[in-house]
């Protein structure tokens, strides 16, 4: 597994740094792979804080940076809101342009409530239905799988495996406005709630994982040791993007 962070945001959405600055900081923190996945297709954020209306420009800018890099590998991602309240119906997505990205993360899949409020549950079947229209790696961002798939661990692992959907294990960045870690429940990162049964099913079905921090600033950009250790200890399979 390479030293990586596949969940970061830049000033193209609600992150603090430009892509150039973020990559530079990532390099200084010795990351080998950095994935930038700015927000898109969400009513949670105003238009200037997401890339929905400038996908081509974002891609072109990041490809330029990607080609100029030597000591670090940049992956160009996009984080799509799949919630019922704020997000997009997956069938309405522009697949042609999405397939030019290096990967896509769907957030809030099968999620009724997030740690900050209701988001409206969109069934994972709606992602499965359009999965074959996406030719790039597809993942679930920081999902509270233990809560969202309670007593359906086996079915979930099979679904993810059969449809080649990876999961992002998120070591949370602190959310200054909310006063808690992003993507946590009862003070613990979502992945730390995974039961032995869920982990066993994920390993059995060879569901792939990546690590991220949902970094909006520089603080947690290279701070992933806990999640790397979790991946190692539980013999989880890393995605090709970072192996």
**Beta carbon nearer to Zn ion, 141 or 199:** 141
Give me 142's structure tokens. 């920081």
Assigned token pair, 134: 């996406």
The smaller minimum CB distance to Zn ion, of residues 153 and 214, is found at 214
CB of 214 to Zn ion, least distance (A): 4
β-pair type (103-107, 73-81): parallel
We find the least distance from the C-beta atom of residue 203 to Zn ion, in angstroms, to be 26
Q: How far is the CB of 105 from Zn ion (least distance, A)?
A: 7
Nearer to Zn ion, 5 or 157 (CB): 5
Q: Map tokens 């080609």 to a residue.
A: 67
Q: Which stretch binds Zn ion (CB under 5 A): 13-21, 157-165, 193-201, 212-220?
A: 212-220
214 is a contact residue toward Zn ion (CB under 5 A): yes
Q: How far is the CB of 172 from Zn ion (least distance, A)?
A: 11
Q: Looking at beta carbons only, is 144 or 153 nearer to Zn ion?
A: 144
Q: What is the 3-state secondary structure (H, E, C) of 123-186?
A: CCHHHHHHHHHCCCCEEECCCCHHHHCCCCHHHHHHHHHHCCEEEEEECCCEECCCCEECCEEC
**What angle is formed at CA 104 by the lines to CA 2 and CA 226, rounded to 5 degrees?**
40
- How far apart CA 176 and CA 227 sit, in angstroms, is 22
Cβ proximity to Zn ion: between 8 and 110 the closer is 8
Q: What are phi and psi of 208, to 5 degrees?
A: -90, 150
Task: Region of 235 please: left (phi>0), alpha (psi -120 to 50) or beta.
Answer: left
CB of 213 to Zn ion, least distance (A): 9
Distance of closest approach, residue 38 Cβ to Zn ion, in angstroms: 8
| Residue placing its CB nearer to Zn ion in the complex, 86 or 153 | 86
Among residues 136, 124, 139, which one has the least CA distance to residue 169?
Answer: 139
Q: Which residue is nearest to Zn ion (CB)?
A: 214
Q: Which tokens belong to 137?
A: 């790696």
The window from 51-59, 185-193, 209-217, 227-235 that contacts Zn ion (CB under 5 A) reads 209-217
Minimal distance in Å, beta carbon 79 to Zn ion? 5
Task: Indicate the residue among 201 and 214 with the shorter CB distance to Zn ion.
Answer: 214
How many residues sit in the footprint of Zn ion (CB under 5 A)?
Answer: 2
CA 82 – CA 84 distance, rounded (Å): 7
Angle separating helix axes 153-162 and 196-204, nearest 10 degrees: 30
Site string for Zn ion, 53-92 (x = CB under 5 A): --------------------------x-------------
| Residue ranges binding Zn ion (CB under 5 A) | 79, 214
């Amino acid at each position: 597994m390479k030293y990586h962070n596949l969940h970061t945001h830049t000033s193209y959405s609600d992150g603090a740094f430009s892509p150039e600055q973020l990559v530079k900081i990532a390099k200084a923190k010795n990351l080998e792979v950095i994935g930038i996945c700015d927000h898109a297709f969400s009513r949670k954020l105003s238009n200037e804080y997401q890339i929905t209306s400038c996908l081509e420009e974002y891609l072109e800018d990041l490809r330029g940076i990607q080609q100029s890099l030597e000591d670090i590998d940049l992956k160009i991602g996009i984080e799509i809101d799949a919630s019922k309240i704020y997000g997009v119906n997956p069938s309405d997505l522009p697949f042609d342009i999405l397939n030019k990205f290096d990967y896509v993360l769907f957030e809030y899949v099968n999620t009724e409530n997030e740690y900050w409020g209701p988001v409206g549950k969109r069934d994972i079947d709606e992602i499965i239905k359009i999965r074959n229209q996406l030719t790039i790696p597809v993942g679930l961002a920081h999902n509270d799988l233990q809560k969202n798939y309670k007593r359906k661990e086996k079915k979930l692992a099979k679904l993810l495996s059969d449809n080649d959907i990876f999961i992002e294990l998120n070591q949370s960045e602190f959310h200054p406005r909310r006063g808690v870690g992003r993507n946590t429940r009862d003070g613990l990162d979502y992945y730390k709630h995974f039961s032995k049964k869920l982990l066993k099913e994920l390993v059995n079905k060879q569901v792939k994982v990546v690590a991220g921090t949902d970094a909006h600033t520089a603080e947690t950009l290279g701070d992933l040791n806990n999640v790397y250790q979790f991946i190692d200890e539980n013999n989880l399979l890393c995605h090709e993007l970072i192996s």
